[in-house]
Structure 1
Amino acid sequence: MEGKNYINGIFVNGSSGDRFESRNPANTDEVLGTFPSSTDKDVNNAVSAAKAAYQGWKCLSRIKRGEYLDAFTQLLKAGHEEISQLVTRECGKGIVEGRADVTEGIHMCQYVFGTVRMPHGDVIDSEIPEKDAFLRRKPKGVVAAITPWNFPFAIPLWLICPSVVEGNTVILKPSRETACTAHKIAEYAHKAGFPPGVINVVQGGCGDLLVKHPDVHVVLFVGSNDVGSGIKQIVAGFRDKMCACEMGGKNAVIVLDDANLDIAVNAAIISAFKTSGQRCTSASRLIVHEKILSNFEKRFIELTKRIKIGNPLDETVFMGPVINQAATEKVARYNDLAREEGAEVLCNGGMLVGEPFKKGYFMSPFVYRMENNPKSRVLREEVFGPHVAIIPVKDIDEAIGVYNDTDYGLSCAVITEDYRKAKRIRDDCEYGLGYVNLPTIGAEVHLPFGGVKKSGTGLPSASTLIDVVTHRTAWTVNHAKKIKMAQGLTVKL
């Protein structure tokens, strides 16, 4: 793919002429595409296009805006397998996960389109019977969507779809690692006939420029805490800009003493190793009641050792590569750190060697047991790879304390047959996404997606993004022949 930026309805080269490559992490000899390294000029052009398109776009009927999205959705459904193959080749997750990524993006389109003929506001009683009061939503303007590589299709559509249906215009800044998928989104948006400037895509390292641009009104970000925290600090310097940031997690599966071990082991495997542990909702902690620790641990390690690792286009492969060389080095550092901090290694994972793996970034799972320690870095910091700790606890109170003993609060799963224990976890653990007898992964688009503490800004994505990309306005109408005020305020002069 000879990729370009998509600005004002046209595919254009970058102003600098510099380009970067997107390569297959399972086979780094395969160059999937080259793309422009965008500059200030490219960002300014995209923002100008989005700003110019905003007035006309917001004045369209919300239903008409939804019809553009419906046309987009139908094209995506027809291209499902093509996009899935591209997602898998570019970010390295298994083809089953690649298809799920695309399905989730389409679900977001369908969900948002389904809202356009639904009630969109409220009629609220006034103290004064001669008054009608209304709550209405208005779009905010130009939205910058800065997205990660691990869900290169679904997450951009989480952010784009609600934004444009509500009347905003969007500039997507994707990860350099998955530029091909973003380019494909632009191609389908172009085919769907969105007016020029409504959806724009700018490639390369230009996120900082977008965040600082005075004509960008909302910044939507999914990625690391370090980057998200920087975005929050920049946005705080503007009087008319806001951001919603989802910034990772240190998630856990809590396995209580009454757990169904078939569910517990499978939920733990899926939580820890799907997408090679590279989801913001991946579980790098398994908090297990000491009463069942031995049995759980034995079964979990046996199943971990059976995980098939290899070419992600192979339907039978469970784990593909990690995304790049930097990711392998980071995971290896945390594996070493676990040993330094006193972990008992149960499954000594690391870089895989040999013919099937020599051209990719393949790593096997690293599993260890460790008592909880508030000073431990491996038990508190996000690793983002196939690295998981088993932490013994003596009761549910300790399990809750261990779960909360991290600066993050994104996803939590509990495995139990006791609804009272599940309620304790629900009420006392600090999270944004909670599950009972399920893995920590598997969010659905009609639910909010976001976390607390370092995991987010309290403004979740997916279905609840509407509260970020619109502002609520009050509209009060007086039908009386004279002014009557609430709170008994007099109007006599």
Structure 2
Amino acid sequence: MTVQTEVKTYGNFIDGKWISAASKKVGASFNPAHRDEIVGYVQSSTEEDVDKAVTAAHNAKEKWRKLSGSERGDFLYKIANCLESRLDDIAETLTREMGKTLPEARGETLRGIAILRYYAGEGMRKTGDVIPATDSKALMYTTRVPLGVVGIITPWNFPVAIPIWKIAPALIYGNTVVVKPAQEAAVTCAKIIECIEQAGLPAGVVNLVTGKGSIVGQRIIDHPGINGISFTGSNDTGKKVAIGAINRGVKYQLEMGGKNPIIVANDADIDEAVEATISGGLRSTGQKCTATSRVIVQNGIYEEFKKKLVERTKELKLGDGLKEGTWMGPCVNESQLNTVLSYIVKGKEEGAVLLLGGRKSEDTDLKNGYFVEPTIFEGVHSRMTIGQEEIFGPVLALIKVETPEEAIELANDVHYGLSASIFTKNIGNAFDFIDGIDAGLVRVNYETAGVELHAPFGGMKSSSFGGREQGTAAIEFYTSIKTVYVKP
């Protein structure tokens, strides 16, 4: 068992104060690479705690709304500066709590800093237009107003970037916030909130409530004082968010699953395509909504591609993400590990051919963590479970096709439509793919994973609903348009 000298307990952050939950209970957050190591303790909150947070956000919203965009932006700059000063601490906590490698954790934290500075600048952008009125003596224009109190529910796989890319636009456009992070990543989120506190935001503008989704998340969904909900997570929970929001008549935004394909055409640069497949599918242990899951390869290069993919994947080093040289860390918890292993079993049962991996790691140094080997199947058909359902783990399914047209058809043959990629040197193939693929994020000669912070992000079909996130598109969700007519 890992010996620890200090394990901090983090309170809820409500109305500018760190307080204990009404239940007086806390839960431990564990390191998935060393399952006996406790990263920290967080509150096991109740509906009462959510009510307190919503009341605080409601009481703060008018004063916050009346600040200028520039004034709100100054606060975001201060939060970014605090995160930057604590970069190593926050990145290390992210790795210890969620499992991804330290370089990935540092990159994600730097991205969070960049997002804050981007939206700080948005405070100086226009929020409306002047429209010619039919009455020559009248002035007609549009402006935007905040929703009010926004509930934010975030997952564990990007515990810095996703909370920030929701909180930052919510704040810059004049909303106050109640945020509920995933339990597995709540310590990391608490450290972000510490930076928000240090930046001096008025009490109640940002509130943190930790706890079970079935209690805290559901109360956010149902609370009559919450005017909008932004959610990233599973499709099943997303449906609950949608139903609750529709019943109350409030705006909601859902970012959910993906079953993302990469198409490798006969004329592709095979080495580049192999590297993109591995990076897109196996980094962060495949625990990304944009991760490559289906690898659709044209038959002319299939055997060569397969050989290089397997050989290159064998070189990847599993281990503790804090250790230098580790390429892939553990699954986030035992439940996720078991889910991934169950899909591997299902793949074999349905006739897919296991080329590599497929087991919990048997390495002695990794036995106390939730490590699964990088896994590659071939002979996968679209109707197989591993050809249809999101696995959220390091599992690649190889599918052989005759033509690029067949590849696009198969790529679209799922309920999801988040991200998709093609590798080709043929401009005709590229544009046919761009035109024909049902995905919100389309990439040519890039991996499926990876999002630019200033570009709209979201998917089609069952992957997303309720407006795009990030970039200038975020204003569409976090505000409503007000059309104004003025006649002297």
Q: Which residue of 2 aligns with 1:362?
A: 371
Letter of the structure 2 residue corresponding to residue 364 of structure 1: E
Q: Which deviations, in whole Å up to 9, do the C-alpha atoms of 1:409-452 show, x marking residues without a partner?
A: 00101111112211111111111111111111110110111111
Q: CA deviation at 1:362?
A: 0.7
Offset from partner CA, 1:184-234 (integer Å, 9 cap, x none): 011111100000000010011111111100000110000111110111111
Structure 2 residue aligned with 1:295: 304
Deviations 1:437-492 (A, max 9, x none): 1111110110111111110104121222211010011112235xxxxxxxxxxxxx
User: Which residue in the other structure is 2:462 paired with?
Assistant: 454
Aligned partner of 1:213 in structure 2 is 223
CA separation of 1:313 and 1:371: change in aligned 2, threshold 3 A: closer
Contact 2:112–2:164 at 8 Å: present in 1 too?
yes
Distance in 2 (alpha carbons) for counterparts of 1:141 and 1:196: 15
Matched residues in 2 for 1:114 and 1:65: separation? 10
Deviation at 1:371, TM superposition (A): 4.4
Instruction: Tell me the amino acid that sits aligned with residue 152 of structure 2.
Output: A
Q: Report the residue type matching 1:460 in the other structure.
A: R
Runs of 4+ in 1 over 6 A off after TM superposition: none
- Aligned counterparts of 1:460 and 1:87: Cα–Cα separation in 2: 26
For 2:319, the aligned partner's letter is: G
- The CA distance in 1 between the partners of 2:464 and 2:126, in whole Å, is 29
Are the aligned partners of 2:181 and 2:210 in contact in 1 as well (CA < 8 Å)?
A: yes
Distance 1:68 1:215 in 2: 25
Contact 1:94–1:313 (CA<8 Å) still a contact in 2? yes
Q: Deviations over 1:262-286 (max 9, x none)?
A: 2100000011100000000011100
Q: Distance in 1 between matches of 2:379 and 2:109?
A: 37
1:230 to 217, 240, 252: 240
Q: Which residue of 1 aligns with 2:5?
A: none
Asked if 1:83 corresponds to 2:90, the answer is: yes
Which residue is 1:377 aligned to? Answer: 385
Structure 1 contact 286–390 (Cα < 8 Å) conserved: yes
CA distance in 1, matches of 2:404, 2:236: 32
Count the aligned residue pairs: 477
TM-align CA RMSD: 1.1
Name the structure 2 match of 1:336: 345
Aligned runs of 1:12-31 on 2, under 5 Å? 12-31=19-38
Choose 45-54 or 110-119, whichever is displaced more: 110-119
Q: Report the equivalent of 2:272.
A: 263
1:57 counterpart SS class: helix
> Residue in 2 aligned with 1:424?
432
Larger Rg: 1
One-letter amino acid of the counterpart of residue 309, structure 1: L
Contact 1:256–1:396 (CA<8 Å) still a contact in 2? yes
Question: In structure 1, what is the equivalent of residue 182 of structure 2?
Answer: 175
Structure 2 residue 314 is matched with structure 1 residue 305: yes
Deviation sequence 1:353-412 (CA, Å, 0-9, x none): 232101110111111112433x32210100000111000111111011100000000010
State the partner residue of 1:112: 119
Alpha-carbon separation, structure 2, partners of 1:272 and 1:71 = 35
Q: Distance in 1 between matches of 2:106 and 2:125?
A: 29
Structure 2 distance, partners of 1:124, 1:100, is 43
Query: Is it true that 1:166 corresponds to 2:173 in the alignment?
Result: yes
| Matched residue, 2:48 | 41
Does the CA contact (< 8 Å) of 1:251 and 1:409 recur in 2? Answer: yes
Deviates more, 1:124-133 or 1:62-71: 124-133
Identify the residue that residue 402 of structure 1 maps to in structure 2.
410
| Aligned counterparts of 1:248 and 1:217: Cα–Cα separation in 2 | 24
Q: Counterpart of 2:3? A: none
Contact 1:450 1:458 in 2 (8 A): no
Q: Partners in 1 of 2:38 and 2:199 — Cα distance?
A: 28
Distance (whole Å) between structure 2 residues aligned to residue 318 and residue 456 of structure 1: 30
Deviations 1:302-346 (A, max 9, x none): 001111110101231110000011111111111011111111111
Cα pair 1:96 1:315 within 8 Å, conserved: no
Distance (whole Å) between structure 2 residues aligned to residue 278 and residue 156 of structure 1: 17
Gaps of 5+ in 2: 1-7
Counterpart code for 1:279: K
Q: Is the 8 A contact 2:122 2:172 kept in 1?
A: no
Q: Whole-Å Cα distance in 2 between the matches of residues 455 and 467 of structure 1?
A: 18
Residue aligned with 2:323, SS: coil
* Alpha carbons 1:53, 1:196 under 8 Å: kept: yes
CA distance in 2, matches of 1:49, 1:264: 51
Cα separation, 2, equivalents of 1:459 and 1:351: 39
**2:464 matched to 1:439?**
no
- Partner residue, 2:146: 139
Task: Tell whether the 8 Å contact from 1:452 to 1:458 is kept in structure 2 after alignment.
Answer: no
Answering whether residue 72 of structure 2 is matched by residue 72 of structure 1, we say no
Q: Which residue of 2 aligns with 1:316?
A: 325
- d(CA) in 1 for partners of 2:346 and 2:29? 31
373, 379, 388: which one pairs with 2:396?
A: 388
User: Identity of paired residues, percent?
Assistant: 38
Maintained 8 Å contact 2:380/2:387:
no
SS at match of 1:449: coil
Task: Give CA-to-partner distance per residue, 1:106-143, whole Å, 9 cap, x none.
Answer: 11101101111222221122233333221211001000
Q: What SS does structure 2 have at the residue aligned with 1:364?
A: coil
Q: Which amino acid aligns with 2:453?
A: V
> Aligned residue for 1:123?
130
Give the TM-score taking structure 1 as reference length: 0.95
